[in-house]
Amino acid sequence: MNKDKKPRSNDSSRPTRRPKTDGKPSEQRKRAFKKDDRPAKKSFADKPSRGRSEKTDRQERGEHKSFERRPAVRAVGGERPAVRKPSVRKTDKDTVRLNKYIANAGICSRREADKLIEAGSVKVNGQVVTQMGFQVRPGDVVSYGGETLSTEAKRYFLMNKPKGYITTVDDPQERKTVMMLIDGACRERIYPVGRLDRNTTGLLLFTNDGELARKLTHPSTMVYKVYQVELNKAVTRDDMKKMLEGIELEDGMIKVDDVQYAEGFNDKRVVGVALHSGRNRIVRRIFEHLGYEVHKLDRVIFAGLTKKDLPRGRYRELTDKEVGFLKMV
């Protein structure tokens, strides 16, 4: 017998073991599990499905309410604002703005074209257009001043104008014009940029680029020009100094950028004059104011272009580099 083993306690608070039965449930247990007393099983339709919301179940049973889709954006405190349709045509790769179309036609610059459009002077397909940004489509007929405009490839020609031709497109007196000399140069209709007197020779630019023409002739541009002048008498140093310092003419003060005796001439009656002014007959008026008479006046440089390899009465087309330089003036 093990001495360390403690004897069992006779404590009555310890639960007694359940008595053995013969394997049959007691009468009380039989009554608890009678079929009639058990709760009825729920049908499949009554059971909430896993992962499905109560709203989905109602919709399948036809108990949901119809509803309309709400707008994505609603104005605060009211209905959605109406979408404003654009007042101009849609743009695509084949359209061009009306002001650019007019400028490409050689009428004027884009800024001046906007003023013509605003004034109602431009028509597209017979209808007056005043909308800024209007897009011209292929096949549209644009007219201004009763004439149909057309966009053409930009062309640029430089002429060495001879004496005896006036710088105008048409002459009512049927005198010789520079357009007779440039006739046949291209299919596009080109115009002279600026003016040279009938007896003045030298460089004259022709183009159908209206925007560039306006730029080169505008007083604010101050295009650089050089003239070779032959006078009736020798020019004094004092008169040269006066031209550099400034001379008061009837239309205001004028001064030249430089004046020198012409190189290659042993005659002080021939001088070179450089200036930026674009006033009418300005070189002749300067020397006439000082008491000289101009016998010959030849423009040898215009906006960086020279007469090199260009005989009198001939013309040539400008290179892309020269055109790019003019647009940067």
- What average pLDDT does the segment 199-224 reach? 89
* Domain membership of residue 200 as a residue range: 156-219+310-327
Write down the pLDDT at residue 39. Answer: 57
Give yes or no for residue 258 having a pLDDT over 60. Answer: yes
Same domain, yes or no: 111 and 250: no
- Supply 205's token pair: 């630019």
Residue 198, domain CATH? 3.30.70.580
Q: What is the DSSP string of 107-139?
A: SS-HHHHHHHHHTT-EEETTEE---TTPEEPTT
Burial pattern 294-326, b for ≥16 Cβ within 10 A else e, equals: beebbbbbbbebebeeeeeeebeebeeebbeeb
Identify the helix (H) or strand (E) that includes residue 151: none
pTM across the whole model: 0.60
- Domain assignment present for 230: yes
Residue 139, domain CATH? 3.10.290.10
- What average pLDDT does the segment 300-319 reach? 95
- Three-state DSSP at 272 gives strand
- Domain assignment present for 4: no
What rounded mean pLDDT belongs to the chain?
Answer: 81
Spot the catalytic one: 57, 140, 197, 257: 197
Same domain, yes or no: 184 and 235: no
- What average pLDDT does the segment 215-223 reach? 85
197 included as an active-site residue: yes
Same domain, yes or no: 298 and 229: yes
Same domain, yes or no: 125 and 182: no
- Domain assignment present for 133: yes
Give yes or no for residue 21 having a pLDDT over 80. Answer: no
- Domain assignment present for 212: yes
- Three-state DSSP at 297 gives strand
The CA distance from 291 to 267, in Å, is 18
Write down the pLDDT at residue 86. Answer: 43
Same domain, yes or no: 211 and 230: no
Give yes or no for residue 85 having a pLDDT over 50. Answer: no
- Three-state DSSP at 221 gives coil
Identify the helix (H) or strand (E) that includes residue 302: strand 294-302
Identify the helix (H) or strand (E) that includes residue 147: strand 147-148
Q: What is the pLDDT of residues 42-63, one digit of tens each?
A: 555 555 555 555 666 666 666 5
Same domain, yes or no: 243 and 272: yes
Same domain, yes or no: 172 and 316: yes
Beta strands 305-306; 142-144: pairing state:
unpaired
The CA distance from 125 to 287, in Å, is 53
Same domain, yes or no: 229 and 287: yes
Nearest to 210 by CA among 142, 133, 128, 155: 155
- Domain assignment present for 258: yes
Same domain, yes or no: 164 and 273: no
Q: What is the pLDDT of residues 125-149, one digit of tens each?
A: 999 999 988 999 888 899 998 888 8
**What single letter denotes the amino acid at residue 58?**
R
- What average pLDDT does the segment 106-110 reach? 79
- What average pLDDT does the segment 51-79 reach? 55
**pLDDT confidence tier of residue 209, bands split at 50, 70 and 90:** confident
- Domain assignment present for 73: no
- Domain assignment present for 239: yes
Write down the pLDDT at residue 170. Answer: 85
Q: The dihedral of CA 279, 285, 290, 295: what is its sign?
A: positive
The CA distance from 304 to 321, in Å, is 12
Same domain, yes or no: 160 and 184: yes
- Domain assignment present for 63: no
Counts of helices then strands in the chain (DSSP H, E)? 9, 17
Domain count, the chain: 3
Same domain, yes or no: 215 and 229: no
Give yes or no for residue 74 having a pLDDT over 70. Answer: no
Q: What is the DSSP string of 163-187?
A: TT-BS-S--TT---BHHHHHTTS-S
- Residue 141's alpha-carbon distances to 150, 181, 327, in angstroms, are 8, 31, 29
Instruction: Among 88, 113, 148, give the residue marking a domain's end.
Output: 148
Write down the pLDDT at residue 40. Answer: 59
Same domain, yes or no: 322 and 177: yes
Phi, psi at residue 182, to the nearest 5°?
A: -95, -5
